[in-house]
Structure 1
Amino acid sequence: MTITAAADGSALGNPGPAGWAWYVSDDCWRAGGWPHGTNNQGELMAVLDLFRATAHLPGEDLHILCDSQYVINSVTKWMPGWKRKGWRKSDGKPVLNVELIKEIDQALTGRKYTFEWVRGHAGHDLNEAADDRARAAATAYQQGVAVRQGPGFVRAGDAAAAGVQTAPAAQQAPAAQAPPAAQAQSRQASSAQAGTRELIAEPTLFGESTLFAEPDLFSELEEESRAAAAGLDPEAAVVALERELLLPETRSDLGRTGVLLHPDFTEIGSSGRLWTRDEMMMALEDDPGVPAELELLAADRLSEGAVLLTYRSHTRTGTALRSSLWVLDGAQWRLRFHQGTPEA
């Protein structure tokens, strides 16, 4: 038999009051959190608690629905290499959230499991239910009220599972599990709803977020991006990356946008609003917009490490003239600046 569950995390301010949740059904779910954490820690904690909550059923397949590429890649792709390198990444830096990841590594031993990526905030019933509960837990910690923990793993006809709960330590998620850098940093998030409205009202390329206090989080994704661009001249490489950023599936993927946006990225919208990299990413996760086609006008190499694109974007709502400045950051092309203006 296969257990299908969604796992999700939430952080208000990121870092800030944080929550996590996994969800099978209205009668089978669990949530928790802590006063200060990040969205990624919440996502990892949800997966960890799900493994622990189903540990009494080692013979059953676990099918985990997750909207975090970071979590999926951490567990299914990067973890073996991290272990071989003493829990360090390919660039030699320590793995972030390593305590949570080590505990997941132990919890999945002997288990049969698969991960499936689902787009967040796209109407997927299980994902939406997990997201609602994770956000409610984060809000409870923000307001200083009791968290609705849920019934745990209980299902009809499974008397052995009735009342099974994970260890209290998993519920409380000690602050020691949060990396010191994440504990030390706290940025004020802009309103995601406001960002979504402006994303629709004006032809900005991106939206709103507060995610990356530590931009080396996705160094493994950077390696894949560099490999994909190998063999292309700079102009062709950045045109391909710009086209990728016009896809909703890319804009909704925090891991991928974290790779492609420069840490100092800014955008000036047609309303005159100045968007930062962090502000962009949360709104995109909530509303990645509609697909757009790119009609290239020019790709000018300003220097060995800078390419300026000018192009016309076409969507079902109209066209816009856009300019994007891409810069070479190490071996990775990143978008440093963008501006869009609607055509009359």
Structure 2
Amino acid sequence: MTITAAADGSALGNPGPAGWAWYVNDDCWRAGGWPHGTNNQGELMAVLDLFRCTAHLPDEELHILCDSQYVINSVTKWMPGWKRKGWRKADGKPVLNVEILREIDQALAGRKYRFEWVRGHAGHDLNEAADERARAAATAYQQGVAARSGPGFVRGDEARAATRNAAAPNAATAMPSATRNAATAMPSATRNAAAAAPSAVRAGRQEVAAPPGSASQLDLFAEPDLFSELDADPFTPEAGTEAAPEAVVEALERELLRPDTRADIGRTGVLLHPEFTEIGSSGRLWTRDSMMMALEENPGGGTEPEMIGADRIGPETVLLTYRSRGREGSSLRSSLWILDGTQWRLRFHQETPEA
């Protein structure tokens, strides 16, 4: 028999109050979270908890629906190499979220499983249900109330009974045991706000997609590092700045062009909108996940933009246009930034080689 479940994570602020959830059906799901974490940590924790909750069924295959290529590639492609290198990446830097990944590595030993990449927020019933529960858990931590944990992995009459019990009014019983004490429920890497990870790219439903190609294919700002420090950005409204949106966005764009930012998957996860896309100079269409994975492997060099314009095209939308120069000549670029809650995020980017 095959167990089909969707796994998803959510972070309000990324990092911020975070939640995770996996979902089979209304009688079979589980959720939890932490007061402070990232979207990627939530995505990974959902997968880990799913393996743990089905450990008593080792002969049944797990079919995991996931909208994060970061998670899928971490589990199915990158972990063997990371383990051989002592849990370090190709550039010698420590792997992010290593404690959760180590536990996943142990949990999947001897298990039969396969991942399927699905588009997030696209009406996929199981994905939407997992996303809703993960976000509800994050919101509960944001508001300081009990998070619903769900019945866990149960079937038939057991599921119905567990669902009734899940509505317990006492916060200590309504929360999953993994969330009652954030200091002990989280791996130490998660407890540190600096532990960063990207959120998932919402790509079309399909089997696991291959990661982007060589570093020379990178079109989004020929430099890396989108995920470094996860502290509140000093330019965002959340940090209490009075700066005009155009100035805020220009500062964030310049930050995103720096190699140290582009190589930091945690920071890029904060700056890139979940629905981010880019049309590169080669005509290739990049998604958020594919871009973040490529930049983490090869962030490229930095560039100093020559700003052309910063135009407010709506109360929560700013369009930047500028020129960048590199070894292959100059390019004209446009970036569309939108205000997502209190954080400005890059929604779309396009690069066109200049004649």
Deviations 1:255-307 (A, max 9, x none): 4256469999999456175469xxxxxxxxxxxxxxxxxxxxxxx99541553
Change (3 A) 1:158 1:180: closer
State the identity %: 63
1:138: which partner in 2? 138
Q: TM-score, normalised by structure 2?
A: 0.60
Q: Deviations over 1:68-101 (max 9, x none)?
A: 0000000000000000000000000000000000
Match runs of 1:302-313 below 5 Å: 302-304=325-327, 306-309=329-332
- The answer to whether 1:256 aligns with 2:291 is yes
CA distance in 2, matches of 1:36, 1:305: 42
Say if 2:54 is the partner of 1:31: no
Pairwise mapping of residues 24-103 of structure 1 onto structure 2 (< 5 A)?
24-103=24-103
Alignment-mate amino acid for residue 182 of structure 1:
A
Specify every segment of 5 or more residues in structure 2 that has no aligned partner in the other structure, as ranges: 167-175, 197-228, 239-259, 267-278, 336-347
Kindly indicate whether residue 168 of structure 2 is the aligned counterpart of residue 123 of structure 1: no
Whole-Å separation in 2 of the counterparts to 1:21 and 1:275: 35
Cα distance 1:64–1:305, how it changes in 2: closer, same or farther (>3 A)?
A: same
Measured at CA, do residues 20 and 190 of structure 1 come closer, stay the same or move farther in structure 2, by a change above 3 Å? farther
2:90 partner SS: coil
The AA in structure 1 aligned to 2:145 is V
For the structure 1 residues 303 and 7, does the alpha-carbon distance in structure 2 shift closer, same or farther, using more than 3 Å as the test? closer
Which secondary structure state, in structure 2, belongs to the residue aligned with residue 307 of structure 1? strand
Q: Output the CA distance in 1 between the equivalents of 2:28 and 2:237.
A: 33
From the superposition, tell whether residues 275 and 102 of structure 1 become closer, same or farther in structure 2 (CA, over 3 Å).
farther
> 1:178-225: CA deviations, max 9, x gaps?
15523873336789xxxxxxxxxxxxxxxxxxxxx9643569xxxxxx
Q: Which residue of 2 aligns with 1:209?
A: none
Q: Give the AA of the match of 1:123.
A: G
Partners in 2 of 1:143 and 1:180 — Cα distance? 19
Q: Does the C-alpha gap of structure 1 residues 156 and 190 become closer, same or farther in structure 2, counting only changes over 3 Å?
A: farther
Runs (4 or more) in structure 1 with deviation over 6 Å come to: 188-191, 260-267
Amino acid in the other structure paired with 2:195: A
> Gaps (5+ residues) in structure 1?
192-212, 220-236, 277-299, 310-322, 326-335
The TM-score normalised by the length of structure 1 is: 0.61
SS of the residue corresponding to residue 194 of structure 2 reads helix
The residue aligned with 1:216 is 263
1:31 is displaced (CA, Å) by: 0.3
Query: For 2:19, what is the secondary structure of its paired residue?
Result: strand
Secondary structure of 2:89's counterpart equals coil
Q: Which residue of 1 aligns with 2:186?
A: 174
What's the counterpart of residue 251 of structure 2?
Answer: none
Aligned-residue Cα RMSD (Å) equals 4.2
Give distance in 2, aligned partners of 1:306 and 1:339. Answer: 12
For residue 105 of structure 1, what is the aligned residue in structure 2?
A: 105
The answer to whether the 8 Å contact 1:44/1:71 transfers is yes
Q: Distance in 1 between matches of 2:22 and 2:16?
A: 20
Q: 1:275 to 1:301 in 2, by over 3 A?
A: closer
Q: Distance in 2 between matches of 1:136 and 1:117?
A: 23
User: Per-residue displacement from partner, 1:142-195 (whole Å, max 9, x unpaired)?
Assistant: 000000000000112789x979x9x9347753261315523873336789xxxx
2:284 to 244, 253, 257: 244
What is the one-letter code of the residue matched to 1:174?
Answer: M
For structure 1, which segment, 255-264 or 64-73, has the greater mean C-alpha deviation from structure 2 after superposition?
A: 255-264
